[in-house]
Structure 1
Amino acid sequence: MSARVIAQVIVLGTQILGKAFVEAYKQAVANAAGGGAVGSAGRLGKDSLTRQTGMTIEEAYKILNLKKDNFDVSTFAKNYEHLFKVNDTSSGGSFYIQSKVMRAKERIDMEMAEATKKNKNSQNNDKQPSS
């Protein structure tokens, strides 16, 4: 009698697991066909610097405790230096947070360099005579 019950439990468990795997496979196929990679690209945004660094400019501003509408280079440098030193591993800080602070600085530096480049290009276009 107990062997029969054990066999039924095994058969029932196998059926349940089989159905679950079939459903998971169908879901995976649907995700692949529908553009499953869109999730990561959509989360990071369409900005090339965001894709390159993996960090949005808003996230970088939050990490360094800066306000985008009231950006000051001296505050930027001061906040970076302070957060980098406070999170130094030799003084008991967090390497992870220190890395985030450094990546945030790099992201803002890249944004500033791109803005400077665009500004120079627009100035050069303004200086060219129109025909």
Structure 2
Amino acid sequence: MAKNLIQVIIAGGRVVGQAFTRALKQEYEASQRAAQRAGGGNQGRKSAANDTFTGMSLQEAKEILNVSDITDAEAIQKSYDHLFGVNEKSKGGSFYLQSKVVRAKERLDIELQSHSKQKRTDQPPDT
């Protein structure tokens, strides 16, 4: 009886271990594909990490705020202010939509910061 119980426990442990290993491999491959879609290399990894952090892709954020140039901070802020105000709960708006607008602004802000850092490192030092 005890021998059968031990065999069942070992077999169950093996199955769980294999499933866990398979899930880890799939997650790693999905992360690699996301980085590749985002441009590959270090830039792709950064973009995929930012997408995961905010829960929104750069393309989705641009569509929500209806902006095409992510370096135009004034247009982003103007669109954000308008959409945030229109979706206020007190005006009959949707809290869900308002939160999407906030997440889109956060995602574009991250990209804008990254873009400005890259621009600063591309400039030669003052001599």
Q: How big is the alpha-carbon RMSD for the aligned residues of Structure 1 and Structure 2?
A: 3.0
Alignment of 1:9-88 (within 5 A): 29=19, 32=22, 35-38=25-28, 41=31, 42=33, 46=45, 47=47, 48-68=49-69, 72-88=72-88
Q: How many residues align?
A: 100
Using the TM superposition, give the Cα deviation of residue 60 of structure 1 relative to its aligned residue in structure 2, in angstroms.
Answer: 0.5
Using the TM superposition, give the Cα deviation of residue 36 of structure 1 relative to its aligned residue in structure 2, in angstroms.
Answer: 2.9
What secondary structure, in the 3-state scheme, does the structure 2 residue paired with 1:93 have? coil
For each residue in 1:51-84, what CA deviation from the matched residue of structure 2 results, as whole angstroms up to 9, or x when unmatched? 2212111111000011148x63332222111110
The structure 1 segments of at least 4 consecutive aligned residues displaced by more than 3 Å after TM superposition are: 28-31, 38-46
% of aligned pairs identical?
Answer: 36
Give the TM-score normalised by structure 1.
0.60
Closer, same or farther: CA 34–66 of 1 in aligned 2, 3 Å: same
